[in-house]
Amino acid sequence: MMRFFSQPRNLERAARMLENSADFRVLRRIPEPFQHMEGNAPPDAQCVAIVDVETTGLSLADDEVIELAILLAWVSVEGEVLAHLGPWSWLADPGRPLSPEIMQLTGLCDADLTGQSIDLDHVKTLLDRADIVCAHNANFDIAWFDQLLPELADKPWVCSMREIDWPAMGFEGRSQSHLLSQHCWFCDAHRAGADVWSLLWLLMQMRADPDGKYLRSHFARLVESSAHPSVLISAHGAPFAAKDELKVRGYKWNALQRVWQKQFKLDDVAEELTWFRRKVLPEPVLRKLSAADRYR
């Protein structure tokens, strides 16, 4: 029995047998990173820079980037990945010891980072080539990139965690590793280079839209989302008593502006305004957002 399962071909045969049963789900390891570029980049494709950073903490003022990775993918209007290069990754010495929590989270230790630095000129060159920058939690990553390279602060960004309606397609949660496993793939590492590669693999997966009409890649959904503005609704003047209803509806408290806010697709704004009027709440403030300022 052990000799049978030690052979890759027999392992694949066994995996397919299990997949044919409703009682089993087979997870496959994503392939090792490889380059796919034949000649020049396709002229009719958008270049998407998939990025990820690892940091010593959450504070822009007090913490430091310790790892940064970028992968470039050329994506057709239909969402097909026509070519990809990378990932490129860099380590950076924060100048102080890592906390045990960060070491456990990233798999990095102080010895890995000693004397290391990020080649920001190379990072800028790669991002200059991109039409869109993508991260799985753009709210987090964009702040660090804008701090490192403020001259690129007008770059359009998309967020694969928020701009794809994962629950509507039957997926639970929004963490990258969990979504990957629900597509029957897995990746061991939690390093920036591994994360951008596994995100490429996740976004290449094909699934039907919630209405079941179209089968398309998750990349197609992001490319579509980047082309459409969203609207930030701010519940200015809403009474304190309305906070629970706003929270249940998905609004988040902006402590700096002291207001409850939520982003909506343009087509959903009219329905939301109707809800405000039905609840006899003050008319909210609307602000149209493009991909360049959606997460800034």
Average pLDDT along the chain, 296 residues, taken 10 residues at a time: 54 80 84 86 87 96 97 94 96 97 93 97 98 97 97 96 94 95 88 96 95 91 93 97 96 95 95 97 97 93
The sign of the CA dihedral 263, 160, 207, 81 is positive
Which residue's entry shows tokens 């049963």?
21
Residue 151: DSSP 8-state: G
The vertex-186 CA angle with 182 and 187, nearest 5°, equals 145
pLDDT of residue 23: 79
Label residue 75 exposed, middle or buried (CB < 10 Å: 0-12, 13-18, 19+): buried
pLDDT of residue 11: 80
Which superfamily does 33-227 belong to? Ribonuclease H-like superfamily/Ribonuclease H (3.30.420.10)
pLDDT of residue 170: 94
Task: Give the predicted TM-score (pTM) of the model.
Answer: 0.88
Q: What is the DSSP string of 198-223?
A: HHHHHHT-EEE-TTSS-EEEHHHHHH
Residues 6+ apart with CB under 8 A from 243: 253, 260
Would strands 157-159 and 132-135 be described as parallel, antiparallel, or unpaired? parallel
